[in-house]
Amino acid sequence: MQSRRWFSTALATAALLAACGGSDPTTPFIVTEPADTTVGEGGTANFAVEAVSSDAMTTDWWRAGASTAVGSGDNLSVGPVTLYDDAAAFTAVATNAQGSTTSRAATLTVTPRQWSASPQASGVASEGSANEIVGVTDAQGNFVFAFYGPSATPGRSGIWAGRRTAAGSFSANQLSSTTDAASAAPMELRVAVDTNGTTIVAWRRRDVGLNNASEIYAAVQQWGAGPDVAPVRLSAQGDFAMEPDVAATGPGQFEVVWTEATLGNPQIRVVTRAFTLGGAPWAGPQTVAAVTGVNVTGPRIASDGAGRVWAAWSEYTQSNVYTVYGKERTAGASTWGGGAATALSAAGHSAPQMKMNANGQGVLTFSDSIGRVHARLLTPTGWAAAQYVANAHIVAPAVALHADGRIAIASLSVGTGQNTLYHWSYDPGNQAWSSASVVRATTGASIGAPSVRFDAAGNEVVLWSETQTGNGPVQVNARRFITGGMGWLAQAAVSPLVTGEAHTNPALAVAADGTSMALWYHVSNQGQSRVPVYALLR
């Protein structure tokens, strides 16, 4: 409780004396009542009261339903507020030796976050072939993304990295070489950030003029905090390398994984290269697995950010029997070791998706022969048994992992075509998966490209594209899930619905405080010009 000196202005004294009928001590008098206030979700609500007393006085603030005071003094700040704070009532109680006086109840109204009314262009036009954007947020709340922009070759896209800071400034840099041959095409973008905001972008460069060879490249951006690292070819020149994935393994440390084969050699390899800021940053390639007579697809890499790394991939025989394999490199180890990979699924499973958090928890999802989704949970001591999660899917599910071990999956299900978007979640508290909930069900429209992300509080954003009947316009939509019992909020249109236009290939990034960025390509009426644009949920 906070003591307060006498209020000695003439106006306050006159009001006090009039209220008590004389000069004898009495209970405090409220001069100015606290006012109702409205703030946006994630903001701070401020309340103020003015009370006077003929002797020493304290002022405490109470929230309706609370058993203890939530503040003291003339002013109260509440925040960052959530949707659960909507309609909360706060009163100030002024107390002196004679007793207490309670103010009116001031009501707090919290308005939900809203998507930007007008999407903003990134400032970099793209070629008509642009078809992919990937985005992440760093620990400082900046949004980082990789996308296709112009190159030196007309009609051929280049690789760009962009960043919108938490303060609102935007910058974009071209990463791929401006001297790439006209026959070379970049594809398969991946991006990751470390705890300091250093960013790595990896991609595949396919050259139809070089026996269709494809190579893996990567570049590192420090956004002014230090020197950038120019694009480097990571795979062997002229080989057939594809499907890169990236992970931050520590501050200033990253690792890229891909599959690689050499013309005339039946062996297929899962290869990684590690990056460390400073000196000669790129370590030599390491072979995680090498197989002959077996195809390898979909390598994934994940890390706890403190040196522990897992790689996973699918192997399948000529009879198309798929199995998911994986290998761990423990923290402090410099190599993957020569032991055999671990079978992480039973035969008949493929398409791994893998996430890890800083607490050593992780999730690996994979699909069986008819697309049903299974999951294995990773703990600091190893993998738990596989669990059946969801019915058959027509696309690989989008997967998110929270810092506390919660998991969210969003995907489309066979049987409802591309007309229904479902959601499943895992609660580490009761160690159980939820039943399916419907995020979006349509009649005639087609849903595609779902993604899902958590904020620090455990709320979720689910994003997807939606094509109207036939070849109608394409729109980006979203829904939010509020943890703690509130559940799903109403669907929101993220991009406008414009006849003859398309808003395609959406990507999603969500910051710890819930601020979110949706990215996509705005395709013109003619379908030739594609401009990367974004909208913010704030």
pLDDT of residue 181: 66
Which 8-state DSSP code applies to residue 468? P
Q: Please tell me the distance from the alpha carbon of residue 272 to that of residue 302, in angstroms, as a whole number.
A: 12
The answer to whether 372 touches 414, Cβ cutoff 8 Å, is no
Q: How confident is the model at residue 143 (pLDDT cuts 50, 70, 90)?
A: very high
Q: Is residue 367 part of a domain?
A: no
Residue 59's CATH number: 2.60.40.10
Q: Is residue 383 part of a domain?
A: no
- pLDDT over 70 at 71, yes or no: yes
191 and 287 fall within a common domain: yes
Q: Is residue 15 part of a domain?
A: yes
pLDDT digits (tens, 9 = 90+) for 463-516: 999 998 767 789 999 999 999 999 999 999 999 998 888 999 999 999 999 999
From residue 436, how far is each of 243, 313, 398, 420, 461 by CA, in Å?
30, 27, 14, 11, 16
- pLDDT over 90 at 438, yes or no: yes
- pLDDT over 70 at 306, yes or no: yes
In sequence order, which residues have a C-beta less than 8 Å from that of residue 509 and are 6 or more positions away? Answer: 135, 136, 137, 143, 144, 145, 453, 516, 517, 519
pLDDT digits (tens, 9 = 90+) for 80-104: 999 999 999 999 999 999 999 999 9
Q: Is residue 38 part of a domain?
A: yes
- pLDDT over 90 at 369, yes or no: no
- pLDDT over 60 at 15, yes or no: no
pLDDT of residue 183: 67
> Which has more confidence, 260 or 396?
260
Q: Is residue 437 part of a domain?
A: no
pTM (2 decimals)? 0.91
Of the residues 292, 309, 344, which one is the last residue of a structural domain? Answer: 344
Looking at the chain, the whole-number percentage of residues with pLDDT higher than 70 is 91
The answer to whether 401 touches 356, Cβ cutoff 8 Å, is yes
Q: Is residue 34 part of a domain?
A: yes
The answer to whether 347 touches 369, Cβ cutoff 8 Å, is no
**Which ranges of 29-87 does DSSP label H, i.e. alpha helix?**
none
Q: Taking the C-alpha atoms of 184, 187, 192 and 197 in order, what is their torsion angle to the nearest 10 degrees?
A: 50
Average pLDDT, the chain: 89
- pLDDT over 50 at 8, yes or no: no
Looking at the chain, the whole-number percentage of residues with pLDDT higher than 90 is 70
Q: Is residue 287 part of a domain?
A: yes
Average pLDDT over residues 323-345: 92
> Which has more confidence, 417 or 3?
417
pLDDT of residue 523: 87
The domain of 188 spans 183-344
**Which ranges of 356-417 does DSSP label H, i.e. alpha helix?**
none
pLDDT of residue 14: 44
Q: Is residue 408 part of a domain?
A: no
pLDDT of residue 180: 64
pLDDT of residue 210: 63
pLDDT of residue 45: 98
Q: What are phi and psi of 515, to 5 degrees?
A: -60, 135
pLDDT of residue 524: 78
- pLDDT over 80 at 398, yes or no: yes
pLDDT of residue 7: 39
97 and 216 fall within a common domain: no
Which of 514, 506, 512 has the alpha carbon at shortest distance from 533?
A: 506
pLDDT of residue 213: 84
Q: Please tell me the distance from the alpha carbon of residue 473 to that of residue 469, in angstroms, as a whole number.
A: 9
Of the residues 297, 317, 344, which one is the last residue of a structural domain? Answer: 344
Per the structure, the count of domains in the chain is: 2
200 and 84 fall within a common domain: no
pLDDT digits (tens, 9 = 90+) for 32-51: 999 999 999 999 999 999 99
- Reading the block at residue 519, the tokens are 């990215």
- Reading the block at residue 353, the tokens are 């998706």
Of the residues 318, 344, 370, which one is the last residue of a structural domain? Answer: 344
196 and 331 fall within a common domain: yes
Q: Please tell me the distance from the alpha carbon of residue 362 to that of residue 381, in angstroms, as a whole number.
A: 11
- pLDDT over 70 at 393, yes or no: yes
Residue 215's CATH number: 2.120.10.10
In sequence order, which residues have a C-beta less than 8 Å from that of residue 162 and are 6 or more positions away? Answer: 122, 124, 144, 145, 146, 147, 170, 171, 172, 173, 532
